Amino acid sequence: MPRYLLIVNPTSGRGFAGRSLSLIEKELQRYSLDYKLVLTERPWHAADLAEQGAREGYEVVIVASGDGTANEALNGLMRAKMAGFDKTAMGQIAVGTGNDFAYGMNIPGGIEIGCKILAENYRRRMDVGIVKGGDYPDGRYFGNGVGIGFDAETGFVAAKIRWMRGLLLYLIAAIETVFIYYKAPTVRLQYEGKELTQPALMISIMNGRRMGGGFFFAPNGDPGDGWFNLCIARSASQLRIFGLIPYFMKGTQATQKEVQMDKGRKVVATAVSGSLPVHCDGETVCFEGKELTIELLPAQIEFVTQNPVA
């Protein structure tokens, strides 16, 4: 039987994870899983705990959390992998605010289903991205995606709203962002031998499928196919941005003239004018970046997920 290191961020989901500790343990014990539970206490603590778990030989590191803590744990596992400790898989019980990382890995929200998936122990290898630039010149790993522009600003606004979680939170934040983020920077994108320069409302570089709890920037994304899915939106008026939001919620934005969809393995984004607010997996990379390089690393880590044919 695998040994699991369970990392819980008690503040995830506006405190939902902390309030759910007894139920999480009850469900894990119901499946007779061999686990050790540790709580995060500070920023980047999950990364340190995950790396330590890999070095100590745990077969699986689980996070009971949302996107941010999952991103930290992924960074810790990648640090361990680069040091030669590459036998540890990752899993998640999705109890966060957006749960977009988990969604991309086919993990539904909820404790009961999350623990059932862990007990079934079906695994697939996931690609991992790395973004270099901004506050992370040496790079930060990500599992779901990088957002440049409007969606990054939306995430910054959402982080200040403490009284709700889920899609409604990000929808309210997006509406608020329309009124504070209207001057799009001019961005030069270079990828797969192509170059595109334009005022860019938003650039999403996706390994998974969605961000913001329900905005499908890459409706056909697959975190194991060796490609990023790119969603590039040109500058638009405030009124037009309101009109575009429902298309992103349905994943049909490719039908709109402002939006271009493509694929790539390495992307360089440079601010020709203005600056770039950037996040990865919902975590701030920078507020005013000038140049970023985003690269895909294929088949890096095993992830415990649902069996697609079960």
pLDDT in tens, 116-154: 999 999 999 999 999 999 999 999 999 999 999 988 888
What integer pLDDT is reported at residue 154 of this predicted model? 80
Whole-angstrom distance, CA of residue 61 vs CA of residue 46: 10
Q: Which domains are present in the chain?
A: 3-121 (3.40.50.10330), 131-298 (2.60.200.40)
- The per-residue b/e assignment along 137-175, b for 16 or more CB within 10 angstroms, e otherwise, is eebbbbbbbbbbbbbbbbbbbbbebeeebbbebbbebbe
Q: What is the CA radius of gyration of the chain?
A: 19
Confidence (pTM): 0.93
pLDDT band of residue 166 (cuts 50, 70, 90) is low
Whole-angstrom distance, CA of residue 297 vs CA of residue 266: 10
pLDDT in tens, 187-232: 999 999 999 999 999 999 999 999 888 889 999 999 999 999 999 9
For range 59-67, the mean pLDDT: 95
Two tokens at 115?
A: 């623990």
Nearest 5 degrees, angle CA 51-CA 52-CA 58? Answer: 95
Arithmetic mean of pLDDT over the chain: 92
